[in-house]
Amino acid sequence: MQDNNHGNTEETVLFRVDGDEVDNKARKVLTTVYQALKEKGYNPLNQLVGYLLSGDPAYITSHHNARSLIREVERDELLEEIVGTYLDLAEKKKL
């Protein structure tokens, strides 16, 4: 769910995604796709970034059905999982 306030540039736009099941599915898909890309000899980081920026599933191998899997999750949900995990790790390192 997104609260849009694009008319006023002085206020922060609030973006929320509800549901832990989305995070779990996104995490599982990212893990599966990562492994499939690695097994096929691709650089998973480069391929995933290419997909996330462009939306072109050709960046993802069809090995282990990875291309079909990644298309089952919206790119914003994948990004939320990636950024959330990064921020969680960064927070833990501060402690």
Number of domains in the chain: 1
Q: What is the pTM of this model?
A: 0.75
Which three-class secondary structure string do you get for the chain?
CEECCCCCCCCCCEECCCCHHHHHHHHHHHHHHHHHHHHCCCCHHHHHHHHHHHCCHHHCCCHHHHHHHHCCCCHHHHHHHHHHHHHHHHHHHHC
Residue 37 lies in a domain: yes
- Over its length of 95 residues, how does the chain's per-residue pLDDT go in tens digits? 444 555 556 887 766 655 555 568 999 999 999 999 999 999 999 999 999 999 999 999 999 999 999 999 999 999 999 999 999 999 988 86
Domain of 60 in residue numbering reads as 18-80
Residue 71 lies in a domain: yes
Residue 45 lies in a domain: yes
Residue 85 lies in a domain: no
Alpha-carbon gap, residue 41 to 67, rounded angstroms:
15
Q: What are phi and psi of 2, to 5 degrees?
A: -125, 130
Residue 74 lies in a domain: yes
Residue 10 lies in a domain: no
